A and B are shown apart, each in its own frame.
Chain A
Amino acid sequence: MTALQELFLKELEAVTSTTALRELRSRYTGKNGVITGELKKLPTLAPHERAAFGKQVNTDKVFIEERLKEYEQVLISKEIKSKLSKDPVDITLPGYYKKPGGRHPVTIVLAEIADIFVSMGFSIEEGPEVESDYYNFSALNIPRNHPARDMQDTFYIENSADGQSGEGAFVLRTHTSPVQIRVMEKRVNESRTNGTPLPPLRFIAPGKVYRCDSDVSHSPMFHQVEGLVVDKNISFANLKGLLEGFLHKVFGPSVPVRLRPSFFPFTEPSAEVDMGCYFCKGGGCRVCKGTGWIEIMGAGMVDPRVFKNVGYDTGQYSGFAFGMGIERIASLKYGIDDIRLYYEGDLRFLRQF
């Protein structure tokens, strides 16, 4: 160790703050510092001594700079620590952040359903909420004055047609099934234009639907998801397989699922899909009205009359459709007993989700 280095270290030991360190640094390595002063001696030396001396000064310089840098880190940390210790935090105070808002239970269930079907290669389609009489009824084999219209008390749009349920009438769609017609029609037109065969069809159509009904379990507006699968060789057994798989995914693999005959004008055979009561496990309770089963969706094989309306060849293609109410599924999942809660915008309810 050179004398200069020893002297520097001694001075460094006395330094206790970054300010003092900066002062020391400037005194040694600054423009008019010690190092510069040493270098200024060069011209006074004999030529053969100059190289060795220069090298020595440079070694000293590197040594000093490195020590300064090291010690500076130590001092900075020390100073930060002492500053913080004068202002200690209360670790139990809440952090500063925006509390996340609630998701709407209908949105949660819709997304869950969409994810399951998208994972199976289904696409997501949409249709208008104000529908023509044709798409909402006629094309789905629900003719004028048919008793099936008893099931659906429909909102009609003013000035759309002279009589209710006539041609040219517009309604707030009573189900998402019109999307079936719209999508199949589009496929048939594309296939005719391009001269290509009809591709396999599988989609779901989520959306709002409307019926003139309002009480604890009925809402004039609610959400449905429609599903359609059309291809060659689609069977009723396939419908059972897919819906059973779907319900097992949503409600757990052990939930029993059964299909029983029902009636929808646009499917034949038609089925009501029941699952074992979530609450009593089949023992019978208020939710399942003592039957041990809960009606969860409607389904069936696409009625050939519907295929005919959209121009599909029933000799080649078969398919199935299904539909379910989202609020109903959400109510079962979350134990909600009043459908109106979904539409009141009550944050005490919505923030739980």
Chain B
Amino acid sequence: MLISYNWLKEYIDFKESPEAIADILTMSGLEVESNKTLDDGDVILELNVTPNRADCLSVIGVARDVSAVLKKKLKRPEINDFKNDGDAGFKVEIIDKHLCHRYCGIIINGVNVAPSPDWMQKRLNSSGIRPINNVVDITNYVLLEFGQPLHAFDLKKLKGDKIIVRAAEEPQAVTTLDGAARTVPAGTLLICDADGPVALAGVMGGQGSAVSDTTTDILIESAWFESASIRVTSKRTGLRSESSFRFERQTDIDGVKNAALRAVSLMIELCGGRVSGVIDNYPTRYETPQIALTREKVQGFLGVQITGDEIEDILKRLDFKVERQTGDFIVTPPSFRRDIELEADLIEEVARIYGYNNIPPVMPELSLAINNVSDKHKKLSELRHSLRYAGFTETINYSFTTREDFTLLDIPAGDERRKVVTVKNPLQKDYDILRTFLLPSLLRNLKYNISFSAKEVNIYEISTVFFETGNGFPAERLKLAVLSYSSGGKKLYTEPAAHFYRIKGQLEPILSGLRCVKYELRPSNEDFLENDQSADVFIGGEKIGFFGLLSAETAARFEMIDDKPDIAVFEMFIDKTDAPIEHERTIPMFSANLMFKYPSIERDIAIVVDDAYQSGDIINLIKTEHLDPERLIESVEIFDHYKGKNIPEGKKSLAFHIVYRARERTLLESEIDALHAEIVRRIISKTGGALRA
């Protein structure tokens, strides 16, 4: 809201500069966002009035706060009461009393419509309101001064000498002042004459009853409309006016008549005319609450030694009624402070006028307590750390995405990832669903970076994904996705492993970091991955993720065509491994292996088998329990994987290193020779392979 410094000065005697006043306002709750000096030296302050402070949507309201801080008297404009000069025979009927609590109408005959004086036009202009004519300008001037919206009707255009305030029973056509023909829904509060609507209550007048150059008789409307109703009308019609803005925030019901009388004084002064009817219909009375307040509570809550006298003084300066009873107070807030309901609300009033700056900063004293801290935060930070040192940069993408993802990535119908949560009012029309997986975002990140000629892109994201459940809250799960791209450009050192093994090498430490050992890999059924270069990750029969090389077709669909696309990806749920990330520190997570006390015996096996066998199959054969009931095999590691010269076509050579160790004794060479030979025999018989010469 815009406030003139000079105008403000009319209500309080102060010498403070505009900057000092701006500071006072900001520090007492009316933030001054900017100020502008006009040609005539006046300064216009732009205030950010919070929604609870409807009383400050006026010059007098703002002046009241300033006077409270400066401890100076507020000078209010004089209001003359007008008696009916004659019975105009005009009636105001309020049908929906719960929506219109008070309606004051004043009839003035014989006005002379003309431009308003310069000083008034200037004030309106500097407050952001366009001058129209003296009658309309006065209603707006009083709106700015008191915060009470007023409306002037051309009395002769109102049919049947009456105003009826009622909610529309059915959709109703109304042509508003701005010339727009609108249809408002049933329930909209209307101001009607005998024929029908003449204004959208609290929002905008109708064109048919507008004051024009030829108007001589007018009805001034000053009313109190229920805020929610005005808000709905404003929202449904898309009309926002100075009036609706104030009604939505609740106006001062006790000030309704005063504001009308103030306008009448100005009209008689500036437009001529005489009052011929004063109607004040006030069917729904406002009961001001009485709130108990204690000095101890104020002191304890704020942490300051404020005295009872200071509390009383501050509240009274804000026009609160204060009854004092030995240190305690019974406080009645004024009718323009409907935001004040509880003790805490009063304490805030005391605090803001006392000055937040005068409250000392004191660290709280809290007793120690064991918090049920989950490991999640720590584990995620370790995960981020290890990914970082493996060369990956974290990205954060919007949770919104598009259904196009499913086509681009060939996600089959019925796939879990298609159970999406839809946003009703997205910012971008197509980006109206929440992500169920992160890969599409990373692929877009990649494409974006390639457009800047990035040669190597190693990125990851950790984020919540959302699945529709059909009953209110979606299922929120935590996922990690990793993408590694290399343009195959020239490099100083050669990479020691193929891309598939490099991305798998990212996955494995993550799984073990999450204390996840019982996972199983199966050939992937994801259509967007290369067939023989990918795998799915399972835990307890449930698929938790996938990894491998992105298929050339998918890369092409994302318009990333390369002679040799080299994009490796993996994605997995990280909230549901066999040691869930939310695990609370209650029990040891695993038992340490303490077998190292006795010496080990080590043996190697090199075997040539058909290509169809994977190294994991051979390791499983080596670890077969029935050959090794005592669990003497401590570890099996593959150290060679070879195809080519000296190995027949369609076969490969695999070599394993086995460490044998017993838990409670020293092993004998002879027993391990026997066990090892048995294992070798078993592999040969099961695979049809041969020991490598």
CA distance A94 to B396 in the complex (A): 31
What is the CB-to-nearest-CB distance from B211 to chain A, in angstroms, rounded to a whole number?
30
CA distance A146 to B425 in the complex (A): 20
* Chain A CB within 8 A of B394 CB: yes
List CB contacts (< 8 Å) of A189-203 with chain B: 199-200, 202-203
Contact, CB under 8 Å: B31 / A159? no
Selected from B362, B458, B474, the residue in CB contact (under 8 A) with A237 is: B362
B391 contacts across to A, CB distance below 8 A: 98-101
What is the CB-to-nearest-CB distance from B476 to chain A, in angstroms, rounded to a whole number?
5
Contact, CB under 8 Å: A241 / B448? no
B423 contacts across to A, CB distance below 8 A: 155-158, 172
CA distance A98 to B387 in the complex (A): 11
List CB contacts (< 8 Å) of A115-169 with chain B: 121-124, 128-130, 132, 144-148, 150-151, 155-160, 164, 168
A346 in contact with B452 given A100-B391, A101-B387, A269-B352 (CB within 8 Å): yes
* Chain B CB within 8 A of A86 CB: no
Interface string of A295-336 (1 = CB under 8 A from B): 000000101110000000000001000000000000000000
Interface string of B20-50 (1 = CB under 8 A from A): 0000001111010110000000000000001
Contact, CB under 8 Å: B29 / A261? yes
* Chain B CB within 8 A of A289 CB: yes
List CB contacts (< 8 Å) of B416-464 with chain A: 421-427, 434, 441-442, 444-445, 448-449, 452, 454, 457-460, 464
Contact, CB under 8 Å: A263 / B368? no
Contact, CB under 8 Å: B388 / A101? yes
Can you report 28 residue pairs joining A to B where beta carbons are below 8 Å apart? Answer: A101-B389, A102-B388, A103-B388, A114-B377, A123-B372, A130-B421, A150-B51, A155-B426, A170-B472, A199-B369, A210-B399, A220-B400, A221-B398, A231-B366, A233-B300, A235-B303, A237-B359, A240-B361, A241-B360, A245-B363, A259-B359, A261-B28, A268-B347, A272-B31, A290-B34, A304-B344, A347-B454, A350-B394
* Chain B CB within 8 A of A106 CB: yes
What is the CB-to-nearest-CB distance from B380 to chain A, in angstroms, rounded to a whole number?
9
Contact, CB under 8 Å: B393 / A101? yes
Contact, CB under 8 Å: A238 / B364? yes
* Chain B CB within 8 A of A343 CB: yes
Contact, CB under 8 Å: B50 / A155? no
Contact, CB under 8 Å: A237 / B361? yes
Interface residues on A, range: 35 or more
A234 contacts across to B, CB distance below 8 A: 364
What is the CB-to-nearest-CB distance from B306 to chain A, in angstroms, rounded to a whole number?
11
What is the CB-to-nearest-CB distance from A304 to chain B, in angstroms, rounded to a whole number?
5
* Chain A CB within 8 A of B153 CB: no
What is the CB-to-nearest-CB distance from A124 to chain B, in angstroms, rounded to a whole number?
5
What is the CB-to-nearest-CB distance from A234 to chain B, in angstroms, rounded to a whole number?
6
Contact, CB under 8 Å: B424 / A260? no
CA distance A123 to B374 in the complex (A): 9
* Chain A CB within 8 A of B367 CB: yes
Contact, CB under 8 Å: A237 / B400? no
Contact, CB under 8 Å: B364 / A270? no
Contact, CB under 8 Å: B395 / A263? no
A235 in contact with B50 given A132-B472, A241-B362 (CB within 8 Å): no
Selected from A147, A170, A208, A231, the residue in CB contact (under 8 A) with B248 is: A147
* Chain A CB within 8 A of B239 CB: no
* Chain B CB within 8 A of A61 CB: no
CA distance A166 to B209 in the complex (A): 37
CA distance A258 to B344 in the complex (A): 21
Q: Which B residues are within 8 Å of any A CB, using their own CB?
A: 26-29, 31, 33-34, 50-53, 227-228, 231-232, 248-249, 300-304, 342-345, 347-348, 351-352, 356-357, 359-364, 366-369, 371-374, 377, 381, 384, 387-400, 421-427, 434, 441-442, 444-445, 448-449, 452, 454, 457-460, 464, 466, 472-474, 476, 492-493
Determine the residue in chain A with the shortest Cβ distance to B398: A221
Interface string of A190-227 (1 = CB under 8 A from B): 00000000011011000010101010000011000000
Contact, CB under 8 Å: B373 / A269? no
B372 contacts across to A, CB distance below 8 A: 123
CA distance A93 to B492 in the complex (A): 9
CA distance A346 to B457 in the complex (A): 10
What is the CB-to-nearest-CB distance from A95 to chain B, in angstroms, rounded to a whole number?
9
Question: Chain A's interface: helix, strand, loop or mixed, by majority?
Answer: mixed
Which among B422, B424, B474, B492 has the highest number of chain A CB atoms within 10 Å? B424
* Chain B CB within 8 A of A88 CB: no
A129 in contact with B476 given A123-B371, A123-B373, A124-B373 (CB within 8 Å): yes
A28 contacts across to B, CB distance below 8 A: none
Contact, CB under 8 Å: B473 / A170? yes
Selected from A129, A147, A170, the residue in CB contact (under 8 A) with B464 is: A129
Selected from B50, B389, B441, B464, the residue in CB contact (under 8 A) with A208 is: B464
Selected from A237, A289, A301, A346, the residue in CB contact (under 8 A) with B344 is: A301
B384 contacts across to A, CB distance below 8 A: 103, 107
Contact, CB under 8 Å: A106 / B360? no
Contact, CB under 8 Å: B232 / A261? no
CA distance A339 to B402 in the complex (A): 22
What is the CB-to-nearest-CB distance from A109 to chain B, in angstroms, rounded to a whole number?
12
B399 contacts across to A, CB distance below 8 A: 129, 172, 208, 210, 221
Contact, CB under 8 Å: B449 / A258? no
Contact, CB under 8 Å: A258 / B357? yes
Contact, CB under 8 Å: B348 / A261? yes
B424 contacts across to A, CB distance below 8 A: 155-158, 164
Selected from A99, A172, A235, the residue in CB contact (under 8 A) with B302 is: A235
What is the CB-to-nearest-CB distance from A197 to chain B, in angstroms, rounded to a whole number?
11
Contact, CB under 8 Å: B466 / A130? yes
Contact, CB under 8 Å: B249 / A147? yes
B28 contacts across to A, CB distance below 8 A: 260-261
CA distance A172 to B434 in the complex (A): 10
A157 contacts across to B, CB distance below 8 A: 421-424, 474
* Chain B CB within 8 A of A262 CB: yes
CA distance A170 to B466 in the complex (A): 13
A114 contacts across to B, CB distance below 8 A: 377
What is the CB-to-nearest-CB distance from A85 to chain B, in angstroms, rounded to a whole number?
23
Contact, CB under 8 Å: B425 / A156? yes
* Chain B CB within 8 A of A8 CB: no
Contact, CB under 8 Å: A147 / B51? yes
Instruction: Give 7 closest A-B pairs by Cβ, nearest first.
Output: A237-B303, A345-B445, A235-B303, A261-B29, A263-B50, A269-B348, A123-B371
Contact, CB under 8 Å: A261 / B352? yes
Contact, CB under 8 Å: A145 / B232? yes
Contact, CB under 8 Å: A240 / B393? no
* Chain B CB within 8 A of A342 CB: yes
A156-B425, A240-B359, A343-B397 given; name 20 further pairs at CB < 8 Å. Answer: A93-B492, A100-B391, A107-B396, A114-B377, A124-B373, A128-B476, A130-B434, A147-B231, A156-B424, A170-B473, A172-B423, A231-B366, A236-B303, A238-B364, A241-B360, A241-B361, A242-B364, A258-B356, A347-B393, A351-B393
A172 contacts across to B, CB distance below 8 A: 399, 423
Contact, CB under 8 Å: B364 / A241? yes
Contact, CB under 8 Å: B356 / A261? yes
What is the CB-to-nearest-CB distance from B688 to chain A, in angstroms, rounded to a whole number?
41
A347 contacts across to B, CB distance below 8 A: 393, 449, 454, 457, 459
What is the CB-to-nearest-CB distance from B595 to chain A, in angstroms, rounded to a whole number?
33
A145 contacts across to B, CB distance below 8 A: 227-228, 231-232
CA distance A348 to B427 in the complex (A): 27
Determine the residue in chain A with the shortest Cβ distance to B303: A237
What is the CB-to-nearest-CB distance from B281 to chain A, in angstroms, rounded to a whole number?
25
Contact, CB under 8 Å: A158 / B377? no
Selected from A130, A301, A318, the residue in CB contact (under 8 A) with B473 is: A130
Contact, CB under 8 Å: B356 / A200? no
Contact, CB under 8 Å: B34 / A289? yes
Determine the residue in chain B with the shortest Cβ distance to A318: B301
Determine the residue in chain B with the shortest Cβ distance to A170: B472
A200 contacts across to B, CB distance below 8 A: 366-367, 369
Determine the residue in chain A with the shortest Cβ distance to B351: A269
CA distance A304 to B343 in the complex (A): 9
CA distance A335 to B533 in the complex (A): 44
Selected from B232, B364, B396, B464, the residue in CB contact (under 8 A) with A229 is: B364
